[in-house]
């Protein structure tokens, strides 16, 4: 099983960063790689089990299921149902933790998945880079550093 771990520090209070990322249907509002998103079946975006169907700016379509969401612990866990990436058993978690020393936020994004062995390094690099670090870079810009 392959594992990706990317973490960063966002220069904003954790409740403000959480308000930006908690919407499971809101990726296009903050992630530069995502073009459009909708929740299937008209369900609320914070209903556990809901499915988001979104398109990357490159045209790829991905469907993901919300497995866990906690406003108290500030994390969101989801799995991939359908994607062109060639991954199986993909589960990811985005987690926020306050940095009390200054008003900033420690953000972690992890994923575990199975894939063909010869594609593992490439997938770890692209998921960790363009998707996770790319999202963090956008948050850093939005919160001024």
Partner 1 sequence: MPRIVKSTVINAPTDRVWNVLRDFNGHDRWHPAVATSAIERSQPSDKIGCVRRFKLADGGELREQLLALSDLEQSFSYCLLDTPIPLFNYVAHVRLLPVTDGDRTFWHWECRFTTRAGEEARLVDMVGEQIYQAGFDAVRKHLSEAA
Of 35 and 75, which CB lies nearer to partner 1 in the complex structure? 75
Position among 1, 59, 100, 118 found at the interface with partner 1 (CB under 8 A): 100
> How far is the C-alpha of 145 from the C-alpha of 142, rounded, in Å?
8
Quick one: DSSP state of residue 129? Answer: I
Which residues are CB-contacts of 73 (< 8 A; sequence separation ≥ 6)?
95
Nearest CB to partner 1, comparing residues 39 and 92: 92
- Residue 118: is it exposed, middle or buried by C-beta count within 10 angstroms (0-12/13-18/19+)? exposed
Give the contact letters, 14-43, x = binds to partner 1 (CB under 8 A), - = no: ------------------------------
Residue of 42, 58, 101, 117 that binds partner 1 (CB under 8 A): 101
The CA distance from 40 to 21, in Å, is 19
Stretch that binds partner 1, among 48-56, 58-66, 93-101, 113-121 (CB under 8 A): 93-101
Residues making contact with partner 1 (CB under 8 A): 5-9, 97-102, 104, 106, 108, 133, 136
């Amino acid at each position: 099983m392959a594992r990706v771990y990317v973490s960063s520090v966002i220069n904003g209070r954790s409740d403000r960063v959480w308000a930006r990322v908690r919407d499971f249907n809101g990726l296009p509002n903050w992630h530069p790689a995502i073009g459009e998103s909708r929740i299937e079946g008209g369900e609320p975006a914070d209903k556990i089990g809901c499915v988001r169907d979104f398109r990357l700016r490159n045209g790829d379509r991905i469907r993901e299921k919300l497995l866990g969401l906690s406003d108290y612990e500030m994390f969101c866990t989801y799995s991939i149902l359908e994607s062109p990436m060639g991954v199986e058993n993909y589960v990811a978690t985005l987690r926020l933790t306050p940095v009390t020393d200054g008003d900033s936020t420690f953000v972690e994004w992890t994923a575990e998945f199975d894939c063909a062995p010869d594609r593992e390094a490439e997938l770890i690099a692209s998921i960790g880079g363009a998707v996770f670090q790319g999202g963090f870079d956008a948050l850093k810009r939005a919160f001024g550093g």
